[in-house]
Amino acid sequence: MSILLLCALLLSGCGSTKDNNAAETNSETASVETVSVTAAAESEVTEMPVSEQETVVTVPEINEDFTTGNGCAKGRGKALASVCDDEFASDGKALKIYHRIESWNGADFDAEAFRGNTIDVTGSFRSAASAVRVSIQYSVYGSACYVGVFTVNTSEDKYSSGSGSFAIPANAEKIVLYIESDSLDDIYCDSFSVKVSGDYRYLPEAQELVFVDTSSYPSLKELYRDDFLMGVATTNDMLDTEDYCGLIKAQFNSMTLGNSFKPDSLLDRGATLADLDKYMECPAIKFNNVKKELDFAKENGMTVRGHTLVWHSQTPDWIFYKDYDPNGELADRELMLKRMENYIAAVVTWADENYPGLVSCWDVVNEAADDGGGMRKSLWYQTVGEDYVQRAFEYARKHAPEGTKLFYNDYNSYQTKKQKDIIDMITPIIADGNIDGMGMQSHLNTDVSVSLYMAALKRYAELGLEIHVTELDIGVKRADGWKETQGEYFRKFMEELLKAERNGVNVTSVTVWGLNDCLSWKAADLPLLFDDDLSRKPAFDGVVQAAEDVNAA
């Protein structure tokens, strides 16, 4: 087997590789360490004369302390990024990221040169925001994905560091690492570094992804037809790829718009600011982002879970301020209740008028319970007060068409302490008759106890609630046999869920949070049913087997 070896120079850079001629770089090679790397496009180079195969590339690295300028950092979206003096920074300088209008506005670092490599990323941040996230964006076949690499809990006057690793798919394009946070506060970055883990793989172009034929796969929606709906989270981009559409149609009868129905996708800041009087009691809303996915669901006879009306994340801060000015005062309770009611009414009414009967349920409130106990002190909590969840359900019941099911949705909702907090929070709403169901997000991993999960599920059901598993994905550590370990977990999980349902627990829908691993928000944990090329994983086989076994018993 012929393997092309490239000579790589270890040089600090901006995440970009340089193609050099070996002879021209002699003086540099004398002072730097060299390594050999394997070219990935092996088949394309075997015919090349040896002399043409000797290419020198720089192993990309990002290593910024911002003492001499921005380095590779650029503002993302409307945000600006520039170096400033900062007494808290280790060397007196930091990158200031400001003028953030949306939560995803932050700072970008081009990461194209790391394609096909595992990277180790570290960063040090401070901010009035409670947490800063480093994420990676890339596209596979035109579908953009946004994957969290690590999150750092932050405070305003002290730097906190974090790190994470991520294996960038070889077929990824438009690869960018970025810094973001849920609130719009300025972010200060003292240092940011990205290093290749292991040998560097030089992939100047994205490798072609050839999808496998999925037409012979058993259909999950058929296998589970008598028990519950089988759903998938989608994005707008995905629906441009025929192979994705084919698999979605064959496997699922329910869809959740993974991002498009969220407040940051619907709210129109420009229109709102242009006519403050008109929009004072409800910001302007545009629905162009949701139509493609809703049309797809409608054309293919699927139902839609509406996700989500009231949430702390992917909800721009400006809606919480008087005159929508984040530099001004927070709006008072009365005004925020009006905005909340008008927003809920506008969204559920638009869905009903334009796609009658399509959106069968809404996640009215998402993630209101705090990880540390009690309620999350979000801007909804701060402006309206602790009854904001109850009010949201009241408004949703008032304005949603009859028969639309109303859900509370949260992660880690199987954990004993969090479950107690959630139940405390929703008990008055159950008493009001304004809630129909509990959405257990179910971002799990193979260490989570299935019996603990099922006990929690039954406890919610005992409150008279319908149960939806709303965002199922099951992360696994990359170790020998990881695919089988994950497959067995999926099998066991689905088998227990089916048994519970057949024993009278009212589980009516199970949704996986994405189609294939490379498009998952947790791509690093390979948590879904299909490989990047849509090959069925043991995870898929486990879900199939659970239904077959329970049906045969």
Return the residue of 259, 378, 442, 509 that touches ligand G3I, per CB under 6 A: 259
Q: How far apart are CA 155 and CA 101, in angstroms?
A: 20
Asked whether position 314 contacts ligand G3I by CB under 6 A, the answer is: yes
State in angstroms the smallest separation of the CB of 525 from ligand G3I: 12
State in angstroms the smallest separation of the CB of 365 from ligand G3I: 12
Stretch 4-63 residues interacting with ligand G3I (CB under 6 A):
none
Angle between helices 482-502 and 538-552 (to 10 degrees): 30
Stretch 415-454 residues interacting with ligand G3I (CB under 6 A):
441
Asked whether position 65 contacts ligand G3I by CB under 6 A, the answer is: no
Asked whether position 313 contacts ligand G3I by CB under 6 A, the answer is: yes
Tokens of 142: 């035109």
Q: How far apart are CA 50 and CA 458, in angstroms?
A: 66
- Contacts with ligand G3I by CB under 6 A: the residue count is 15
Return the residue of 13, 162, 169, 258 that touches ligand G3I, per CB under 6 A: 258
Coarse DSSP helix, strand, coil percentages of the chain, rounded to the nearest 5 percent? 30, 30, 35
Q: Taking a C-beta distance cutoff of 8 angstroms, is the pair 38, 8 a contact?
A: no
Q: Which of 367, 394, 466, 495 is catalytic?
A: 367
CA 338 to chain centre: 30
State in angstroms the smallest separation of the CB of 135 from ligand G3I: 5
Complex with ligand G3I: residue 180 or 341, whichever CB lies closer: 180
CA 22 to chain centre: 42
Complex with ligand G3I: residue 394 or 471, whichever CB lies closer: 471
State in angstroms the smallest separation of the CB of 102 from ligand G3I: 7
Q: How far apart are CA 121 and CA 132, in angstroms?
A: 14
- What single string gives the DSSP state of each residue in 144-180? EEEEEEEEEE-BTTB-EEEEEEEE--TT-EEEEEEEE
State in angstroms the smallest separation of the CB of 180 from ligand G3I: 5
CA 85 to chain centre: 33
Asked whether position 508 contacts ligand G3I by CB under 6 A, the answer is: no
Tokens of 74: 């650029």
Largest Cα–Cα separation, the chain: 79
Q: Which of 64, 466, 471, 501 is catalytic?
A: 471
Complex with ligand G3I: residue 146 or 279, whichever CB lies closer: 146
The residue type at 2: S
Asked whether position 475 contacts ligand G3I by CB under 6 A, the answer is: no
Which of the ranges 9-17, 46-54, 256-264, 326-334 carries the binding residues for ligand G3I, by CB under 6 A? 256-264
Return the residue of 296, 521, 530, 540 that touches ligand G3I, per CB under 6 A: 521
Residue 497, phi then psi, degrees to nearest 5: -65, -45
Complex with ligand G3I: residue 59 or 469, whichever CB lies closer: 469
Which of the ranges 59-67, 257-265, 317-325, 432-440 carries the binding residues for ligand G3I, by CB under 6 A? 257-265
State in angstroms the smallest separation of the CB of 402 from ligand G3I: 27
Which of the ranges 36-44, 258-266, 296-304, 371-379 carries the binding residues for ligand G3I, by CB under 6 A? 258-266
Q: Taking a C-beta distance cutoff of 8 angstroms, is the pair 533, 211 a contact?
A: yes
Active site (annotated) includes residue 471: yes
Complex with ligand G3I: residue 411 or 530, whichever CB lies closer: 411
Q: What angle do CA 88, 90, 92 make, to 5 degrees?
A: 65
Stretch 282-311 residues interacting with ligand G3I (CB under 6 A):
none
Q: Taking a C-beta distance cutoff of 8 angstroms, is the pair 266, 294 a contact?
A: no
Tokens of 373: 């106990």
Q: Taking a C-beta distance cutoff of 8 angstroms, is the pair 180, 212 a contact?
A: no
Q: How far apart are CA 453 and CA 434, in angstroms?
A: 25
Stretch 76-115 residues interacting with ligand G3I (CB under 6 A):
104
Instruction: List 494's β-bridge partners, or say none.
Output: none
Complex with ligand G3I: residue 412 or 486, whichever CB lies closer: 412
Stretch 126-165 residues interacting with ligand G3I (CB under 6 A):
135, 137, 146
State in angstroms the smallest separation of the CB of 34 from ligand G3I: 36
Return the residue of 86, 185, 341, 471 that touches ligand G3I, per CB under 6 A: 471
* Backbone angle region of 147, left / alpha / beta, with phi > 0 → left and psi within -120 to 50 → alpha: beta
Q: How far apart are CA 317 and CA 269, in angstroms?
A: 11
Catalytic residues: 367, 471
Residues that bind ligand G3I (CB under 6 A): 104, 135, 137, 146, 180, 258-259, 264, 313-314, 366, 411, 441, 471, 521
